[in-house]
Amino acid sequence: MGHRSSNAWMLAFLVAAGVSHAAEPPKASAPPPKLPPGVSPVLWKVSVPPGAEPTPDKVLLGEKLFNDQRLSVDNTVSCSTCHEPKKGFVDGKDRSVGIKDQKGMRNSPTVLNAMFNASQFWDGRAATLEDQAKLPILNPIEMGMPSPEAVVTKVRAIPEYAAEFQKVFGREVNYDDLAAAIAAFERTQFSGSARFDAFIHGDEKAFNASEKRGWALFNGKGRCTECHAANIVSPLFSDQKFHNIGIAAHKQDFVQLALEGLKVVRTGDEKQIDELALQTKFSELGRFLVTKQENDVGAFKTPTLRNIGITGPYMHDGSLNSLWDVMDHYNKGGVQNPYLDGGMQRLGLTEPEIDDLVAFLYTLTDTRFDKFNQQELARQRGLKNKRPERDTAVAMGKKGNLGDIAPNPDLDKKNPAEMGVYGAETSVKSEPKKEGKP
């Protein structure tokens, strides 16, 4: 994969959508394109606002802007710097790096399937892809442009963009249109063709024995579905809610930090809040920066598990290097703090069970990243002897008192997929034709 492959994927989408470069922008009632099995037409329709459909010209302009470093103040950083297509639209770093090698406070989430998110960013401070596209350009850590007016002035001075904005939007460059073009490109970056999708549609051979056990654990003892449930119309494996799972509690006195942060957040300055999220210790307050509600202190959005194998390192601060580390974190019930989500409890997973769960998670990667997925699995497996989050004694109830261990799964029962945990079985499998019926 690379930029060329990104183009190929986008062009495949455009061809599948039955449109051409010469076509007029589709109307609000335009049908969805041909979608992979893991993306339902219903989800597509409800996720694309009327008037925001990704027309071919708008998408091409948006991809060009997405990859253009000239949108940054010193011409060194583009959107793709932190969201590299060949890496599943992440950068593989713990925290993103912007202009002048400045390091932010948050890990770069993937753009893949971002169009289906109920909100954008780890703390949900942007409601739409268009809103999301604007903020990194202005953030002094990321792209560093001083104002929307400065962005527009700079882009208008680039002859090719002056012409292309006239062609696509019929007017001069403005900041809303620039964001709309980037968002249009991002709406073509969906993913739903993983081995999991083949399995859920009836291909038993798509999973090996370990992956099947992992799927059962995912729905049982692992309690993963508490926040990462999915079904055929909501296939992201995310509840799209915000939870304090204890990651941020490694570093901060939450009570004191919340008192300090509240004074700043009350200003209501959206740009300033964005800067706080990336630049200061207050970043660890998470959703609290947006809602100003104390029960959101340290809460971050449940990320999608689609392509999780290739989009590490993990958590809002990229502090967990492998999916084994992630499982270790959950296995001991997270890190205790006054705002810990009530659903967090030790799991009591054995080492073979953790291996099975990780094996299942790697089945959620889109097949176009198969080679990269295998490379990441091998790399992360090589980190198994370096497990800073591992506390087997706590996880297995041999010390501490962190609540009840979740019940053991009954692996003698039918496969969870056959039990309808991913929507009704009949809704994901074709019903046999009746005799005499077409």
Taking 70 as the threshold, does the pLDDT of residue 341 lie above it?
A: yes
Q: pLDDT at position 17, please?
A: 44
Determine the Cα–Cα distance for residues 377 and 210; give it in Å rounded to an integer: 14
142, 164, 284, 376: which one is catalytic?
142
Indicate the residue type of 127: A
Q: pTM of this prediction?
A: 0.86
Q: What are phi and psi of 345, to 5 degrees?
A: -155, 155
CA distances from 25 to 50, 171, 237 (A): 12, 15, 32
Of the candidates 78, 61, 81, the one whose C-alpha atom is nearest the C-alpha of residue 69 is 78
Q: Distance (Å, rounded) from C-alpha 253 to C-alpha 250? A: 9
Q: Give the pLDDT score at 31.
A: 56
Res. 352: pLDDT tops 70? yes
Segment 271-284 mean pLDDT: 75
Taking each helix axis from N to C terminus, what angle separates 3-16 and 56-66, rounded to the nearest 10 degrees? 160
Report the C-alpha gap between 341 and 370 in whole angstroms: 35
Q: For residue 18, what pLDDT band results from cuts at 50, 70 and 90?
A: very low
* Bridging pattern class, strands 242-243 and 300-301: antiparallel
Q: Does the structure show a pLDDT above 70 at 395?
A: yes
pLDDT attached to residue 11 = 46
**Tokens 């009704």 label which residue?**
424
pLDDT digits over 58-71, tens only? 999 999 999 999 99
> How far is residue 247's CA from residue 122's CA, in Å, rounded to a whole number?
13
367-to-13, 73, 303, 423 alpha-carbon distances in Å? 16, 37, 20, 23
- What does the buried/exposed string (b/e) look like for 297-313 if buried means 16 or more CB atoms within 10 Å of the residue's CB? bbbbbbbbbbbbbbbbb
All structural domains of the chain = 50-188 (1.10.760.10), 195-400 (1.10.760.10)
In the numeric block, the tokens 């694309």 are attached to 48
E-only strand ranges, 219-364: 242-243, 300-301
Taken in order 317, 320, 321, 324, is the CA torsion positive or negative?
Answer: negative
Active-site annotation holds for 418: no
For residue 28, name the pLDDT band (cuts at 50, 70, 90). very low
pLDDT per residue as tens digits for the range 188-233: 999 999 999 999 988 989 999 999 999 999 988 899 999 999 988 8
pLDDT reading at 16 higher than 50 = no
Residues listed for the chain: 438
Rounded to an integer, the average pLDDT of 274-299 is 83
Hey, what are 101's tokens?
């090698």
Question: Which residue from 285, 70, 52, 69 is spatially nearest to 183, judged by alpha carbons?
Answer: 52
Higher pLDDT, 204 or 400: 204
Contact 98, 104 (CB under 8 A): yes
pLDDT the model gives residue 418: 67
What per-residue confidence (pLDDT) applies to 398? 81
Q: What is the percent of the chain with per-residue pLDDT over 90, rounded to a whole number?
A: 59
Question: Does 313 sit behind a cis peptide bond, omega within 30 degrees of 0 on the bond before it?
Answer: yes
Compute the mean pLDDT over every residue in the chain, rounded to the nearest whole number: 85
Q: Is pLDDT at 24 greater than 50 in this prediction? A: no
Q: Which residues contact 15 (CB under 8 A, 6 or more apart)?
A: none
What is the Cα–Cα distance from 30 to 26, expressed in whole angstroms? 6
User: What letter represents residue 162's amino acid?
Assistant: A
